[in-house]
């Protein structure tokens, strides 16, 4: 039996989970999710399914007409029975609601995503003339306010990496033992994130074979499954080489994790949450007033790259943005030779 890659297994797991969620939605909903399959990832469809399920639960809990409904009783015609005011009530409900004993709140971004999911859901049935009315078109979508991008300053980048290198000087006992086991790995991850701007999801999916020291590049699997080579500079190369030739080479991964680049202390592939926790652990020691996450490290890289090159299209390409307007909002078809400029343009620490 051929071993599945990390990304293939994630795709399988998300597809299975999506099917499970669809069992908790009205039967007609399957048509919509089948229709958007070619242009969306399983994860996106899974998130949309969760969001649509919230909508139907809202109707059963808050709309007198549907209070005795079960989820399988909903028909397509129920969508056009609703009026714009019902959609507005739902939008208000999303700000704070209870689900299985837990209080759920939505930020502007979360609220916007759930409303976009509902509008897309409605649009499918309206477009295919299964309903004659689309009340979501008569409701203003929630406004998204621009937020200042949190990122590390140049001196803070150096402070963070220096702290990871020398944190052991301030530790004792079990903390020191754990630090020694993970220092080179953590330094490699942080240097890689800061030196390439890759997403944390792309980082956890890296295999040993994705690292090419001859050309100083890593093959990452972007959102949607596309693969791309991202080039790195000497600082990233040194950190990766130290880790791979040292702790990673000495490790004995558990079955199924033999190819993983970054291993946990349990000898399994590190997950997204593990890297997020590691970044926060170190960052709070250096910049306690900034809530630094892997995504903030990505913003730090993008900002530095744009300052050094002034090329917004290069920044968009290296970060894997499909729409350059997304990049312009945050920072102000590139061939591989130009992309290589990104590898040496950003210095994390002065030599």
118 & 173 share domain: no
207 & 316 share domain: yes
Query: Is residue 251 a part of any domain in this protein?
Result: yes
- Show pLDDT as tens, one digit a residue, over the chain (351 residues): 456 788 888 888 999 999 999 999 999 999 999 999 988 888 899 999 999 999 999 999 999 999 999 999 999 999 999 999 999 999 999 999 888 888 999 989 899 999 999 999 999 999 999 999 999 999 998 888 777 778 999 999 999 999 999 998 888 999 999 999 999 999 999 999 999 999 999 999 999 999 999 999 999 998 877 899 999 999 999 999 999 999 999 999 999 999 999 999 999 999 999 999 999 999 999 999 999 999 999 999 999 999 999 899 999 999 998 888 878 877 764 455 566 777 878 888 876
Range of the domain at 99: 6-138
pLDDT of residue 336: 54
Looking at residue 177, the DSSP 8-state letter turns out to be H
Q: What is the DSSP string of 228-283?
A: EEEE--HHHHHHHHHHIIIIIHH--PPTT-TTBSSB-TTSSBPPHHHHHHHHHHHH
Query: Is residue 209 a part of any domain in this protein?
Result: yes
Query: Is residue 56 a part of any domain in this protein?
Result: yes
195 & 251 share domain: yes
Cβ atoms < 10 Å from Cβ of 188: 24
Copy the structure tokens of residue 306. 């744009």
Query: Is residue 96 a part of any domain in this protein?
Result: yes
134 & 191 share domain: no
302 & 168 share domain: yes
Identify the domain boundary among 90, 110, 138. Answer: 138
Query: Cα separation of 272 and 264, whole Å?
Result: 11
Q: What phi and psi values does residue 339 have, to the nearest 5 degrees?
A: -65, -30
- Dihedral-angle region of residue 96 (phi above 0 means left; psi in -120 to 50 means alpha; beta otherwise): beta
Query: Cα separation of 308 and 289, whole Å?
Result: 26
- C-alpha dihedral, 205 to 207 to 209 to 212, nearest 10°: 70
Cβ atoms < 10 Å from Cβ of 341: 16
Query: Cα separation of 89 and 146, whole Å?
Result: 25
327 & 282 share domain: yes
Identify the domain boundary among 85, 109, 138. Answer: 138
Helix (H, G, I), strand (E, B) or coil at 29: helix
Are the C-beta atoms of residues 193 and 312 closer than 8 Å to each other? no
Chain centroid to CA 71:
30
Copy the structure tokens of residue 202. 């792309």
316 & 180 share domain: yes
Per residue in 77-123, pLDDT (tens digit) is 999 999 999 999 999 999 998 888 889 999 898 999 999 999 999 99
Answering whether pTM is above 0.85, one says no
Cβ atoms < 10 Å from Cβ of 217: 21
Are the C-beta atoms of residues 199 and 294 closer than 8 Å to each other? yes
pLDDT of residue 337: 55
C-alpha R_g of the chain: 23
132 & 201 share domain: no
202 & 85 share domain: no
132 & 48 share domain: yes
185 & 99 share domain: no
Are the C-beta atoms of residues 6 and 207 closer than 8 Å to each other? yes
Q: How many domains does the chain have?
A: 2
Copy the structure tokens of residue 64. 């007198």
Query: Is residue 107 a part of any domain in this protein?
Result: yes
CATH number, domain with residue 173 = 1.10.443.10
- Sign (positive/negative) of CA torsion 344, 189, 218, 317? negative
162 & 294 share domain: yes
Q: For residues 19-56, b (16+ Cβ closer than 10 Å) or e, as one string? A: eebbeebbeebeebbeeeeeebebbbbbbbbebbbbbb
Burial class (CB in 10 A: 0-12, 13-18, 19+), 15: middle
């Amino acid at each position: 039996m051929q071993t599945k890659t990390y990304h293939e297994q994630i795709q399988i797991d998300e597809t299975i989970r999506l099917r499970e969620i669809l069992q908790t939605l009205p039967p007609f909903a399957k048509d919509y999710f089948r229709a958007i399959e070619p242009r969306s990832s399983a994860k996106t469809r899974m998130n949309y399914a969760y969001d649509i399920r919230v909508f139907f639960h809202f109707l059963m809990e808050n709309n007198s007409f549907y209070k005795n409904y079960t989820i399988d009783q909903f028909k397509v015609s129920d969508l056009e029975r609703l009026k714009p005011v019902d959609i507005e009530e739902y939008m208000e409900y999303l700000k704070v609601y209870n689900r299985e004993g837990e209080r759920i709140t939505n930020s502007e971004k979360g609220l916007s995503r759930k409303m976009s999911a509902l509008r897309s859901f409605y649009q499918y049935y309206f477009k295919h003339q299964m309903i004659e009315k689309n009340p979501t078109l008569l409701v203003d979508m929630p406004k998204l306010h621009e937020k200042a991008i949190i990122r590390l300053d140049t001196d803070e980048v150096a402070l963070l990496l220096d702290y990871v290198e020398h944190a052991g000087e301030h530790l004792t006992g079990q903390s020191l033992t754990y630090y020694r086991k993970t220092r080179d790995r953590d330094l490699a991850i942080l240097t890689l994130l800061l030196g390439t701007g890759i997403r944390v999801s792309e980082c956890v999916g890296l295999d040993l074979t994705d690292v090419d020291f001859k050309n100083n590049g890593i093959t990452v699997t972007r959102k949607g499954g596309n693969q791309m080579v991202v080039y790195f500079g000497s600082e990233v190369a040194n950190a990766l080489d130290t880790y791979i030739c040292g702790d990673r080479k000495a490790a004995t991964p558990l079955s199924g994790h033999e190819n993983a680049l970054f291993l946990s202390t349990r000898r399994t592939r590190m997950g997204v949450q593990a890297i997020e926790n590691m970044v926060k652990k170190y960052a709070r020691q250096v910049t306690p007033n900034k809530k630094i996450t892997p995504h903030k490290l990505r913003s730090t890289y993008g900002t530095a790259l744009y300052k050094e090159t002034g090329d917004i299209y290069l920044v968009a390409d290296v970060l894997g943005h499909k729409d350059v307007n997304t990049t312009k909002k945050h920072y102000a078809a590139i061939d591989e030779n130009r992309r290589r400029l990104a590898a040496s343009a950003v210095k994390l620490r002065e030599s």
